[in-house]
Amino acid sequence: MSFHAPTVFSLLAWEHGIGMVWESYPLMHEPAFREALGIGPGEKVVGSLHVGYPAAIPAAQPRTAADRLLTVIGG
C-alpha cells in the first residue's frame, strides 16, 4: 500500500478544523536556513508544512467533472 503522508495528515487535520499548506521555495537551499533547522549535509528538504487553525474558511470553488478531463484510449 502506498500513500502520500502529507496528504493523509492534511485530511486528518482538517477533520479537526486544522488547515495545512505545503510549500517549497528556494530559501530551503540557503545555508543559513539549513543550519537554523539542523538540516545536515546530504539531507534534502522537499517542502515545509504550515499548520494551524484558519481565521476563515473560503467557499468551495466550482470543479470540473472528472469525465470532462479524462480521455480513455483503446478501452
Contact 28, 62 (CB under 8 A): no
Q: What is the pLDDT of residue 48?
A: 87
pTM of the entire structure? 0.58
With a CB cutoff of 8 Å and minimum separation 6, the contacts of 13 are 19, 20, 51
Q: What is the pLDDT of residues 15-65, one digit of tens each?
A: 999 999 889 889 888 999 999 999 999 998 888 889 999 999 889 899 999
Cα gap 68→14, rounded to integer Å: 28
Any idea where the domains of the chain sit in the sequence?
Answer: 5-54
